[in-house]
Amino acid sequence: MQAIWKGAVSFGLVHVPVKMYASTEDKDITLRMLHREYKEPIQYRRTCPKCEQEVPWSDIVKGYEYKEGHYVTFEQQELEDLVSETSREIRIIDFVDLSEIDPIYFQKTYYLSPEETGQHAYMLLVNALESTQKIGVAHVTIRQKSSLAAVRVIDGVLSLVTMFYAEEFRDRSQIPNLPDKEKVDRRELDMAKMLIEQLTANFEPEKYRDEYKARLRRAIEDKMEGKEVKPANDEKTANVLDLMDALQASLKQLKPFDETDKDSKPSNRRAASRTKRTGA
């Protein structure tokens, strides 16, 4: 794997020299844009609308539009000079419980590996985080972009998860058509809770598949063999208009729980899955 960042994790006066690696890889199937008639890839050029000429990278600067049509510009070196010395540092500010952070804050996960000189400090931080069940909230700059981050242990490996700052979230008042708070029908609520219980299972990420990518791969193979591409065979859902009817119909599709124990909490797939694995 190619390291994409090199620096150190710091907390207090402790420095842990590390290298950063992407924890995921793009598995998407790439489709290029072609001219329908000639089947040639479409090209994109950097052109200036004023001189109508293609502009080389050496003549491009970055600018901020402070009012329409007016910019302040920055040379690349000016932007690099704004990056502080701590840009090569994952500086942990606080240690918190993971449960305190809403998943909406998380962006992308990276693995951190120790430099040879920092292996002892690396393992010390891994064990300390595991023992205290804490994660570190840190500041980090990756490719000139400052970000909030969480430093945590995943399967014995230090990882860094970039996070959004609170100011980056839109106010919920901007969301259209949000309903006013109203009392929910108790029977509908009980049915909804029962349906959730029936659909509850252990989270097993390996069982989830990108169905669209699989269909696209099959379609590519069919096209290469001159076969007709078959459309997705989605199951049609019944047009149930009444909410209670929809809840009841959903429950009927699932394995019914013991009718003699209606007042007790219905068994769920998590318990069934656990029993199946343990052989109990």
- Residue 190 to residue 244: CA distance in whole angstroms: 11
CA distances from 128 to 124, 131, 166, 214, 216 (A): 6, 5, 28, 42, 46
Looking at residue 84, its pLDDT comes to 60
Model pLDDT, residue 276: 43
CA distance 210 to 215: 9
Across the 280 residues of the chain, what is the mean pLDDT of every consecutive 10-residue run?
88 89 85 90 90 91 92 86 71 94 93 92 95 94 85 95 92 86 87 89 87 86 86 64 81 62 46 44
User: What's the confidence (pLDDT) of residue 129?
Assistant: 96
Q: How far apart are CA 178 and CA 93, in angstroms?
A: 36
Spatial separation of the C-alpha atoms in residues 205 and 42, rounded to whole Å: 37
Within its chain, how far is the Cα of 216 from the centroid? Answer: 22
pLDDT, position 273:
46
What crossing angle do the helices spanning 243-253 and 186-198 adopt, rounded to 10°? 30
Hey, what amino acid is at 217?
A: R
Position of tokens 């420095």?
A: 15
- Looking up tokens 């995921």 gives 24
Cβ atoms 272, 257 nearer than 8 A: no
Q: Give the pLDDT score at 241.
A: 64
Extended strands (E) in the chain: 5-11, 14-22, 62-67, 70-74, 89-96, 106-114, 135-142, 145-154, 157-163
Quick one: pLDDT at residue 132? 95
Instruction: Report the pLDDT value the prediction gives residue 2, as an integer from 0 to 100.
Output: 86
164 in Cβ contact with 219 (< 8 Å): no
Please tell me the pTM assigned to this model.
0.71
Reference 255, options 197, 215, 209, 212; nearest CA is: 197
